[in-house]
Every structure is written in C-alpha cells, then in structure tokens.
C-alpha cells in the first residue's frame, strides 16, 4: 500500500497561487495519483489525476517528477471558495485508485 | 439528477438497533465504494464492489457491518447492533471501470448517522 504524506494545513491569501505537495515514496508502477477536494458536510469531489509529468485542467495543475515519489497540486489564484480539505490518493493496484484517503491538507484562504 | 444518490441523508437511532443505508450509483458505473468519515478525519475505506462482486473489505470492518450490491446496481450497507462509535458520515462513491487504470470516483452527499 502506497502511503501518502501531506501537510496538515496551509493558509493563503486570495489571489495567490497555492502549491500542496504530497509524498508517496512507495508508489507502484501501476499507480495513478489522484487529488480530491472536500467541503464540510459534502462528499469529496475529484480535482485532477495524473501518472507522470504534468497534467492541467480548468481547475488545477498536477506536477509529478520523474521518480513519481511526490506530486504537487497547484491551484492558481485561489479565492475564498477554495477553502476546503484537499486529499492526495495513490492507487494500490491498477484500476482501483480510489480506496485510501489520508487526513488531507486543510487549506484556508484569507481575504 | 444523474449523480450518486444516498438515502437517507440523516439517521438517528438508538444504540443496539439495526440500520440500513442505500446508495444508487451513476448508472453506467461498475465500481461502488463505501466509506465512513468522522469529524476531522479523511474518509475511511470500508468496502468496494465491482458490479455485484465485493472485491475488498477493510480489516477494520467488524462483523456487524455488511454490504450488498445484488444486481450490480444499487447497494445497501447494514449496521447491526449499532454502537455510539458508529456515529459518522457514511459516504458512497462510484466510478467507471477504465482499462489501464486511472479513474475518478463520484461521491454522494452521504448519510449522517447518529447513535444515541
């Protein structure tokens, strides 16, 4: 099982870029890296997923170095509505990538 | 609404009673997951199905918990002889089966259980 480690919390001012790094030293060859966002009293919501290098969508970018032992979620120009908990997941077998959440990173955006 | 639906949204029960929750996944999704989440913690994996087959079950799940997905569509999670420690948000998620791995899960709004 590839365990993930993230900072417990982060603060950022509105309009800044936020980078949240996740360590996954035991990532396996078939594992994908997935990030979810969760607001209070709601289920997690998928943000982005990648295998290697860089992935970008309308919400975020995901940077994965060549050794894949870490990944960085980048949120451009955050707003107050980005205040949430962000989870990094690494699948422990091909296809079943959504099993194990850690404690996540609580991001607080300050006006 | 074509998202994941959970019922009920809230449940209050007395200790020792049995409760059952229902999850309706997105219709074309083969995989269905159950999680439990307590305040300040990330979702804790309970079990997951691929179609009607229960492929994995957490070792932390006691024998009082059972889940079914009889026809590979909706799923139920039953907790027998509830205890106060069972109070939590129970989340269901579904995802499509994607060749080669890598797929996103869609979560429901959850069922909040309070055992008094």
Please write the tens of the pLDDT for every residue from A11-32.
Answer: 999 999 999 999 999 888 888 8
Do the chains contact at B108 and A43, CB–CB below 8 Å? yes
**Confidence (pLDDT) at B25:** 96
Do the chains contact at A99 and B42, CB–CB below 8 Å? no
Please write the tens of the pLDDT for every residue from A29-76.
Answer: 888 899 999 999 899 999 999 999 999 999 999 999 999 999 999 999
Query: How confident is residue B101, by pLDDT bands cut at 50, 70 and 90?
Result: low
Chain A residues in contact with B89 by the CB 8 A cut-off are 41
In this predicted structure, the answer to whether residue A97 has a pLDDT above a threshold of 60 is no
Query: How confident is residue A95, by pLDDT bands cut at 50, 70 and 90?
Result: very low
- Output the 3-class SS for chain A: CCCCECCCEEEEECCCCEEEEEECCCCCCCCCEEEEEECCCCCCEEEEEECCEEEECCCCEEEECCCCCEEEEEECCCCHHHCEEEEEEECCCCCCCCCCCCCCEEEEEEC
Do the chains contact at A95 and B103, CB–CB below 8 Å? yes
Among chain A residues, CA nearest to B99: A95
Residues near A82 by beta carbon (within 8 Å), at least 6 away in sequence: A18, A75, A107, A109
Chain A residues in contact with B103 by the CB 8 A cut-off are 49, 95, 97-98
Chain A residues in contact with B112 by the CB 8 A cut-off are 41
Please write the tens of the pLDDT for every residue from B14-54.
Answer: 999 999 999 999 998 999 999 999 998 999 989 989 999 99
**Confidence (pLDDT) at B59:** 82
- Number of neighbouring beta carbons within 10 Å of residue A67: 9
Check if the beta carbon of residue A73 is closer than 8 Å to that of residue A22: yes
**Confidence (pLDDT) at B1:** 54
What are the phi and psi torsion angles at B24 (to 5°)?
Answer: -110, 110
What dihedral do alpha carbons B47, B43, B17, B9 form, nearest 10°?
Answer: -110
In this predicted structure, the answer to whether residue A92 has a pLDDT above a threshold of 70 is no
DSSP secondary structure string, B38-91? -TTSPPEEEEEEETTEEEEE-TT--TTEEEE-TTSS-EEEEE-S--GGG-EEEE
Distance CA A18, CA A39 (A): 17
**Confidence (pLDDT) at A102:** 82
């Amino acid at each position: 099982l590839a365990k993930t480690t993230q900072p417990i919390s982060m603060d950022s001012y509105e309009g800044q870029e936020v980078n949240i790094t996740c360590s996954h030293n035991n990532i396996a060859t078939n594992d994908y890296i997935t990030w979810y966002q969760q607001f209070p009293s709601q289920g997690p919501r998928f943000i982005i997923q990648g295998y290697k290098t860089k992935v970008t969508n309308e919400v975020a970018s995901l940077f994965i170095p060549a050794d894949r032992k870490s990944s960085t979620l980048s949120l451009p120009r955050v707003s107050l509505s980005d205040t949430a908990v962000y989870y990094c997941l690494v699948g422990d077998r091909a296809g079943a990538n959504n099993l194990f959440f850690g404690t996540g990173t609580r991001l607080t955006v300050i006006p | 609404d074509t998202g994941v639906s959970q019922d009920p949204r809230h449940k209050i029960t007395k200790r020792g009673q049995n409760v059952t929750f229902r999850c309706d996944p997105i219709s074309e999704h083969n995989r269905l997951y159950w999680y439990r989440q307590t305040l300040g913690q990330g979702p804790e994996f309970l079990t997951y199905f691929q179609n009607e087959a229960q492929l994995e079950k957490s070792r932390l799940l006691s024998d009082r918990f059972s889940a079914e997905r009889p026809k590979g569509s909706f799923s139920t999670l039953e907790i027998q002889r509830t205890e106060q420690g069972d109070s939590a948000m129970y989340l269901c998620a579904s995802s499509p089966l994607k060749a080669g791995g890598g797929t996103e899960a869609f979560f429901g709004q959850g069922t909040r259980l309070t055992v008094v």
